[in-house]
Amino acid sequence: MRLSPDAMIFWQYGFLRLNATIVFTWGLMLVLAIVSKLITRRLSMELERSRWQNLLEIVVTAIEKQIEEVGLSQPRKYLGFLGTLFLFVALSALCTVFPGYQPPTGSLSTTAALALCVFVAVPLFGIAEQGVGGYLHSYTKPTFIMLPFNIISELSRTLALAVRLFGNMMSGVMIIGILLSITPFVFPIVMTILGLLTGMVQAYIFFILAAVYIAAATQVRKPEPEPEAELNS
């Protein structure tokens, strides 16, 4: 039994190897890019608009609202990164309805790459928001003793992000594979439907955790509200 789509090799030449993970990742990227390009080619500001534009607007505003609710007051700045993460993970889970498809997120390399993107993006957004000194100073909060623990948590949460997504997607594929050999007709379909649900939940969780990490890194210390002003007014 294959543990990941890495083992499914389409084409090999020397050390160059084209496995299912790469093929399906690029396929998803092409689908996302081409569909977005096609829809945004004819955007209308009028009351009458195409149904595809409506769909895209629903998706974008929903993502934007979620980012804002996490605590990032300017969601437009992070929409590109976080929205892409969500759409990629969600689409890679949703496409499991097509036979012969294997979710690329069921491979540890893909999820590790996504988690590394978050690992790199969090300090970049943090530095952009509060400067190098301010961001580095946030590691010594609340006291200087917490410095090593903050660094460890930075690393361990990246590992957790990668392994969580990998484990969930891989377990879905694996359970369907095991059930196919025991009860071939009904239960694999039920588990596929359950897999669609867990895939969406995992996409949401990956996205919301990345947003929470970025929100924690970009938090600028706001001035304390003055209680006297409250009393006088």
Partner 1 sequence: MDSMTIIAVASIAIAGFATGFGTLGPALAEGRAVAIALTSLAQQPDASATITRTLFVGLAMIESTAIYCFVVSMILLFANPFWNHAIAQAAGK
Residues that bind partner 1 (CB under 8 A): 1, 3, 66, 69-70, 160, 163-164, 166-168, 170-171, 174, 201-202, 204-205, 208-209, 212
32 vs 208 by CB, closer to partner 1: 208
Residue with smaller CB distance to partner 1, 94 or 175 = 175
**Alpha-carbon Rg of the chain, whole angstroms?**
22
- In the bound state with partner 1, the residue whose beta carbon lies nearer, of 111 and 130, is 111
Q: How far is the CB of 188 from partner 1 (least distance, A)?
A: 19
CB 5 within 8 A of CB 17: no
Token couple for 167: 């484990």
Region for residue 100 given its phi and psi (left: phi exceeds 0; alpha: psi -120 to 50; beta: otherwise): left
- Give CA 171 to chain center in angstroms: 18
A 10 A CB-CB count for 196 gives: 16
| Smallest distance, partner 1 to C-beta of residue 82, A | 14
- Cis? peptide before 5, omega within 30° of 0: no
Least separation, in Å, of the C-beta of 167 and partner 1?
A: 4
**To the nearest whole angstrom, how small is the minimum distance from the Cβ of residue 50 to partner 1?**
30
| Min dist. Cβ of residue 169 to partner 1 (A) | 10
DSSP three-state, residue 47? coil
Min dist CB 153 to partner 1, Å, is: 12
Q: How many CA atoms lie within 13 A of 171 on its CB side?
A: 10
**One-character DSSP codes across 80-120:** HHHHHHHHHHHHHHHGGGSTT---GGGSHHHHHHHHHHHHH
* Residue nearer to partner 1 on the CB measure, 8 or 174: 174
Per DSSP, the three-state class of 10 is: strand
Q: How many angstroms separate the CA atoms of 109 and 3, rounded?
A: 12
Neighbours of 86 (CB within 10 A): 23
Smallest distance from the beta carbon of 8 to partner 1, in angstroms?
A: 15
Q: Which is nearer to partner 1, 130 or 217 (CB)?
A: 217
Residue closer to partner 1 by CB (options 135, 206) is 206
Considering beta carbons, is residue 131 or 177 the nearer one to partner 1? 177
